[in-house]
């Protein structure tokens, strides 16, 4: 007997990827229901070789749903996640709404899978920000070996992190440049075509942006609250795949060779690190893949026990949809959740 899975936000970038991944990984679902706003009711989405018609969230009865994947933004999650959890489904939420709630586990299965058991407090599990997920997958095995004291990270984030309209904006602006027509700028604070923008999300009082704040706070919650961190998040004209340049200071010595060996066998990591032209991974190669790719591992001689590395991952997959399905798999594999509908 399998699970009944509801997906809220089925028509978005991440929602569609969730359906692909549920199918690719043969998630033990007897039934998958696609839900969306009333505006998207009736829109068809693919789930493997099946087509699902979106139903309206507002009218849906969740009483026989086991797992609800929420990918509909913060406002929808704030209103609906507690109601859906109260109906008895475990909510795995992709928005930032619940991430810092002490009664909601924030999970990256390669890093803190044991914490998933805490879902019983509110019935909600949070999925991290995409730029955090790939970072902690790369940091965890190094932290276990040499204890991380401080991280300085600069991101190069693709436009798909900002949604489908943002991808369309990069496309249409690029076309406008070549056709010498007017550039229309709605989704980003400055033009994104042939440009980079050092602002993702709104500014906070201390001058960091909310995206940077999320990376710093989420890394502490998932990996270790003692880690000091400074992030600069930058939007780049890439469609899919976030990249990060990461400087790490450790408590104990660790060489680049040791780090490379550790990361080669670490869960979720794939090391491609040849010191030759092209011997590293770029977002173009990481798009559509599941791994967090790590390249350019080297010692940083400007600090004691320092390393620098480059890390790239598909932000829609490991950064969102894949991580959410891996959380659902944790619940199933650890027998923390039984299907409500028993075999007749
Ligand atoms: C971006 N990382 O690239 C953001 C998208 O808190 O889940 C995801 C925001 C979040 O724009």
Residue identifier of the C-alpha nearest atom 4 of ligand 1? 161
Question: Which residue from 235, 233, 129, 131 is spatially nearest to 173, judged by alpha carbons?
Answer: 235
Query: What is the tens place of the pLDDT at every residue in 140-165?
Result: 999 999 999 999 999 999 999 999 99
Core vs surface per residue 195-206: b (16+ CB within 10 A) or e: eebebbbeeeee
How many A from CA of 254 to the centre of ligand 1? Answer: 32
The ligand 1 atom nearest the CA atom of 242: 3
Does the pLDDT value for residue 286 go beyond 90? yes
pTM of the model: 0.96
- The DSSP annotation for 33-44 comes to EEEE-GGGTT-E
Residue the block writes with tokens 């320092």: 306
pLDDT band at 342 (very low <50, low <70, confident <90, very high): low
**Residue corresponding to tokens 């276990």:** 144
CB 209 within 8 A of CB 200: yes
CA distance 222 to 344: 40
* pLDDT confidence band for 341 (50 / 70 / 90): confident
Cβ of 233 below 6 Å from ligand 1: no
Quote the distance between the C-alpha of residue 336 and its chain's center. Answer: 23
Mean pLDDT, residues 105-123 taken together: 98
Q: Look at residue 193 and give its three-state secondary structure.
A: coil
Mean pLDDT, residues 193-213: 98
Binding-site members for phosphate are 99
Residue ranges of domains in the chain: 3-127+321-333, 131-313
The number of the ligand 1 atom at minimal distance from the alpha carbon of 127 is 7
pLDDT in tens, 68-108: 999 999 999 999 999 999 999 999 999 999 999 999 999 99
Beta carbons of 88 and 340 less than 8 angstroms apart: yes
CATH of 3-127+321-333, one of 3.40.50.280, 3.40.980.10, 3.40.50.800, 3.40.50.720: 3.40.50.720
More confident residue, 37 or 327: 327
Which of 12, 130, 166, 322 maximizes ligand 1 atoms within 8 Å of its Cβ, making it the mutation to test the pocket? 130
Q: Closest Cα to residue 195, out of 207, 185, 204, 182?
A: 185
CATH 3.30.360.10 fits 131-313, yes or no: yes
Count of other CB atoms within 10 angstroms of residue 337: 16
Q: Could you tell me if the CB of 161 is within 6 A of ligand 1?
A: yes
């Amino acid at each position: 007997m399998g699970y009944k899975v509801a997906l809220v936000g089925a028509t978005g970038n991440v929602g569609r990827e969730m359906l692909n991944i549920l199918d690719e990984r043969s998630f033990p679902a007897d039934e998958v229901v696609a839900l969306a706003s009333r505006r998207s009711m009736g829109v068809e989405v693919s789930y493997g070789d099946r087509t699902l018609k979106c139903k309206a969230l507002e009218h849906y009865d969740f009483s026989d749903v086991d797992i609800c994947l929420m990918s509909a933004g913060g406002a929808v999650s704030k209103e609906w996640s507690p109601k859906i959890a109260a109906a008895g489904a475990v909510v795995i939420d992709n928005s930032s709404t619940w991430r810092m709630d002490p009664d909601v586990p924030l999970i990256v299965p390669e890093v803190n899978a044991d914490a998933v058991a805490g879902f019983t407090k509110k019935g909600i599990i949070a999925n991290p920000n995409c730029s955090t997920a790939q970072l902690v997958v790369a940091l965890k095995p190094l932290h276990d070996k040499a204890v991380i004291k401080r991280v300085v990270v600069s991101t190069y984030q693709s436009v798909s992190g900002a949604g489908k309209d943002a991808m369309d904006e990069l496309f249409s602006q690029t076309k406008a440049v070549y056709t010498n027509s007017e550039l229309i700028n709605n989704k980003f604070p400055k033009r994104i075509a042939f440009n980079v923008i050092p602002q993702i999300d709104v500014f906070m009082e201390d001058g960091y942006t909310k995206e940077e704040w999320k990376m710093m706070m989420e890394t502490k919650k998932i990996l270790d609250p003692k880690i000091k961190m400074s992030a600069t998040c930058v939007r780049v004209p890439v469609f899919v795949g976030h990249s990060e340049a990461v400087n790490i200071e450790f408590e104990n010595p660790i060489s680049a060779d040791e780090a490379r060996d550790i990361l080669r066998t670490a869960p979720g990591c794939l090391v491609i690190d040849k010191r030759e032209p092209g011997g590293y991974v770029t977002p173009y190669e990481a798009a559509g893949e599941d791994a967090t790719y790590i390249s350019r591992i080297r010692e940083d001689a400007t600090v004691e026990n320092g390393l620098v590395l480059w890390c790239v991952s598909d932000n829609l997959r490991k950064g969102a949809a894949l991580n959410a399905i891996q959380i659902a798999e944790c619940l199933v594999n650890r027998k923390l959740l039984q299907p409500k509908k028993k075999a007749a």
